[in-house]
Amino acid sequence: MRPNLLLAGNHLSSRGGGSRGPIEDLAERLGIRGYRCLCISSVRNGFLRGMDLLFSTMLRRADYDVAVVDLYSGRAFLWGEALSATLGLLKRPFVITLHGGGLPDFAETRVRRVQRCLARASAVTAPSRYLLERMSRYRADIQLLPNPIDLSNYSYRNRDKVEMRLVWVRAFHKIYNPQMATRVLALLPEARLTMVGGDKGDGSLISTKTVANDLGVAGRLQFTGPIARDQVSDYLQQADIFINTTDFDNTPVSVIEAMACGLCVVSTNVGGVSHLIDNGIDGLLVPPGDEEAMAAAVRKIAGNPEFAQRLSRNARAKAERFDWTHVLPQWESLLDAIAGAKSSNGASNGARQYARSNF
């Protein structure tokens, strides 16, 4: 029998409260595979969502055998830490899944707290080698389980003939530096740019539009606003080059999606991006904030069809490693091993018996 699961994180898309997160996709896939999943929380308010996480974990402890807990930095860490302590007291085995490019820097000033939090878990997973390597000082046996995609949703087109059709896919927030995209566009008079994403409310969208107007590129720039997840591929297919301007990142799913579609990717070299993109092999990396270097990289791709074709082909091959068909069986093996260890030997031994993935 499959163990019953508690998946604790942001389940906001079900009520229109936010973008769909990795834990929601995991819950859906595991449900199809026969696991009964208790998903919390879909409450929009951050504080109330945290309280819902804690109380539901306690009050419904008879409804799950194993829990999966998302752990982020910032204020969200407090709720993950509290869930770790609560599940420890309840003697329920659980997996902590690390998220966010800012978590390693956040942890550096809270070493003992992070170590205690991770030590309580039966297993700790990371979606990127960047997080795995940076967080291994807090727990040595972190396992690599990437954020997957459904490859069948992303049709591949080799970019053997590249036009200056650029696309940018992220939320409008300062950490993603959307203004840089407009400055890149200004350096490429023959290019057009589509910026796909919703407004996070920190003024970045307004600022980006202001910069575009000041630079005289507004006529070559399209803002789509927030779109449904199943529309992302459509916008990607309309472009040839994907630009990622972020100042701060882990392993962005948007970049993996672009690679799956065969776009030629140019990204800033920050956080875990270099663990995803092999510079010159399946994409190009440039220094953060350097619009001239990014514009030069775009010109290099557009002016060299053979190079563009090779980047496109290699990008698709890289993205295929992130398909659910590769990742889901690893989740099943991990959760089944923890549940089996709990029933036979107690919760403490389950994770150590699971081999680290080799992505």
**Structural domain 5-148+323-353, CATH architecture:** 3-Layer(aba) Sandwich (3.40)
How do the pLDDT tens digits run along the chain, 359 residues long?
899 999 999 987 765 555 677 899 999 999 999 999 999 999 989 899 999 999 999 999 999 999 999 999 999 999 999 999 999 999 999 999 999 888 999 999 999 999 999 999 999 999 999 999 999 999 999 999 998 999 999 999 999 989 999 999 999 999 999 999 999 999 999 999 999 999 989 999 999 999 999 999 999 999 999 998 889 999 999 999 999 999 988 888 999 999 999 999 999 999 889 999 999 999 999 999 999 999 999 999 999 999 999 999 999 999 999 999 999 999 999 999 999 986 665 544 444 444 443 44
Q: Does domain 151-321 have CATH number 3.40.50.2000?
A: yes
Residue 229: what pLDDT?
A: 84
Residue 22: what pLDDT?
A: 87
> DSSP character for 69?
E
Cite the residue boundaries of each domain of the chain with CATH code 3.40.50.2000.
Answer: 5-148+323-353, 151-321
Angle made by CA atoms 337, 338, 340, in degrees to the nearest 5: 65
Query: Looking at beta carbons, which pairs linking 19-26 to residues 24 or more positions away fall under 8 Å?
Result: 19/171, 19/198, 19/229, 20/229, 21/70, 22/97, 22/99, 22/127, 22/147, 22/253, 23/68, 23/70, 23/97, 25/148, 26/68, 26/331
DSSP 70-122: EE-STHHHHHHHHHHHHHHHHT--EEEEE--TTHHHHHHT-HHHHHHHHHTSS
Q: What is the pTM of this model?
A: 0.85
